[in-house]
Amino acid sequence: MFELADQPIDSAAWRTRLAHGAAGALVVFEGWVRNHHLGRPVTELEYEAFDAHARLEGEAIIAEVEQDYPGCRVCCVHRTGRLRVGELSVWIGAAAPHRAAAFLACRQVIEELKRRLPVWKKEHHPDGATEWVNCTAEAATSRLSPETYHARQIALPEVGAAGQAALAAASLLVVGVGGLGCPAALYLATAGLGRLTLADGGLVELSNLHRQILFTADEVGVAKATAAAARLKAHNPLARIEAFATRVTPLNVRTLVAGRTAVLDCTDNFTARFLLHDACRAAGVPLVSAAVHRFEGELTVYAPGTPGCLHCQWPAHRPAELDATGDCASGPVFAPTVGVLGVMQAAEALKLILRTPGADFRHTRLLNLLDASVLAVERTANPSCPVCGQPAIIRSDRTPSRPDVILTEEAFVALGPVRTAWLLEAGETARAGFPGAECVLAGDVLRLRELAAAGPLVLACRSGVRSAALARLLRAEGMGAVFARAVGAT
């Protein structure tokens, strides 16, 4: 709840409004009129508001904070009119189940309010002079200037004014705000990006803190995306950072990835890795991916024009089986490994935006922190990859033969009404003569997975080779009823 008040604030009454049974902590911020500012004595303050706009903005700030800290209730009242020294100008209360969220929520309200609320104050001095705060020539020169903030970066010949403008126009998504995501986001937040979104559905845990360097012990139990965004906004008030405190799923991944300049995969499991890879591939968005195992890590950039894809590397594997072979989600971690890899991910993403000469996205880097070595491994496309390979070369015998995957014409008819997808090769246009089939770009595994998740699915393509290979790939991932029509069946 947000209010503008032209009369003194009754803080006791506001405090009562916030009381609720589930609240275990109330943090209150009171702004007081003080008798000096920038070395000059002050006798009175005069507050003026753009009324309708201030109410909307105030309500919006509170709604955002209440959404960021589930279970938290926030009230804020801001004075207008003339106030004497010692009077209360703003009162903010945040009541939450636990103190960590209450402290963070209260802080976030006052910081956002000072940045966004269309309210102005005029200082009255003992000599009768007056001054609108922040509107003087000195304020204009001392303001947080992006040009000054980024000066040492702009001075790089590889950046310059044009590069900085490219960064300001860029939109990045970091998925996973953990050991990799924290250091990556820290360097991205200071780069001057147009938009930076942090996505993570998890909460800060005590056993995370040794490597997830954006979080403090006070923040255990708070949503990681929210806590990280708050920390980074404090670090760089110029940065435009959004928290998406929800797990990335097949349902939301397309929206999250759409329109991005690049995406950073900072997750710790193969299910998320394949999901992000496939969504980025479908959207033509470069993906900067990293993975670590104890003292070792791997860094790969998948971008349009780089050789191969994730499926070339792990053909027809179930993500769950790959996860079971490692221990990245819960196993031991040497913290500097994720630190180095996360910072390298940030560097690769910035180089993608800046189109830095000499950048090499064709090699995968293998790092070993035990002997401090970096090995560049050339990636090659697997010509028979069911996702990015050539139809003439794709082998459909990669997995043990499952005779029920290929449907004869008879079996297809016997199946009755069923969803069908026609796999479009590059350059092939939507095909007439196959009524009811959805045309899907051959490499868009994400869409095929969506269709398969909704029920039985039959794949078809011109040669019958890719449809068989992709049907087997989806089966291997655990999708049950995915079939391919036999060659020649139309």
Partner 1 sequence: MNPTAPRLLQLQFFAALREQAGCSTLAVETAARTPAELYRELQACRGLTLPAELLRVAVNARYVAMDTPLQAGDHVVFIPPVAGG
List 19, 22, 38, 56, residue binding partner 1 (CB under 8 A): 56
Choose which of 17, 40, 143, 355 interacts with partner 1 (CB under 8 A).
143
Are the C-beta atoms of residues 66 and 6 closer than 8 Å to each other?
A: no
Contact 287, 302 (CB under 8 A): yes
- Residue 346 touching partner 1 (CB under 8 A): no
Least gap, CB of 143 to partner 1 (angstroms): 7
Q: Does 140 bind partner 1 (CB under 8 A)?
A: yes
Q: Which of 3, 44, 48, 438 binds partner 1 (CB under 8 A)?
A: 48
118: contact with partner 1 by CB under 8 A: yes
Residue 405: which of 462, 343, 479 has the closest Cα?
479
Sole binder of partner 1 in the list 19, 38, 63, 135 (CB under 8 A): 135
Q: Residues with Cβ < 8 Å from 222, sequence gap 6 or more?
A: 69, 100, 101, 104, 203, 204
CB closer to partner 1, 121 vs 281: 121
The residue (of 123 and 265) whose beta carbon lies closer to partner 1 is 123
Shortest Å distance, C-beta 192 to partner 1:
16
Site mask for partner 1 (CB under 8 A), range 437-466, x = bound:
------------------------------
Reading phi first (left if > 0) and then psi (alpha if -120 to 50, else beta), residue 328 is in alpha
Our finding on whether 20 is near partner 1 (CB under 8 A) is no
- Among positions 89, 171, 208, 337, the unique one binding partner 1 when judged by CB under 8 A: 89
Beta-ladder partners of 30 = 91
Q: In what order do the strands lie in the sheet with 73-79?
A: 2-5, 73-79, 88-96, 25-32
Q: Give the number of residues written for the chain.
A: 490
Please give the size of the binding site for partner 1, defined by CB under 8 A: 28
Residue with tokens 């490499």: 443
d(CA 232, CA 220): 17
Amino acid at 293: H
- Which of 113, 199, 285, 452 is the binder for partner 1 (CB under 8 A)? 113
Q: Which of residues 68-87 bind partner 1 (CB under 8 A)?
A: 78
Is there a contact between 286 and 451 (Cβ–Cβ < 8 Å)? no
* Shortest CB 86 distance to partner 1, Å: 16
Q: For the chain, give percent helix, strand, coil, nearest 5.
A: 35, 25, 40
CA 194/CA 240 separation, integer angstroms: 6
Q: Does 156 bind partner 1 (CB under 8 A)?
A: no
Which listed residue (42, 62, 77, 90) binds partner 1 by CB under 8 A? Answer: 90
Phi, psi of 174 (to 5 degrees): -110, 120
Regarding 413 and contact with partner 1 (CB under 8 A), the answer is no
Active site residue 385: no
Report d(CA 246, CA 243) in Å as an integer.
9
C-beta closer to partner 1: residue 119 or 458: 119
Q: Which one is catalytic: 106, 312, 328, 385? A: 328
CB 193 within 8 A of CB 239: yes
Annotated catalytic sites, by residue?
328
Which positions touch partner 1 (CB under 8 A)?
31, 47-48, 50, 52-53, 56, 78, 89-90, 110, 113-122, 132-135, 139-140, 143
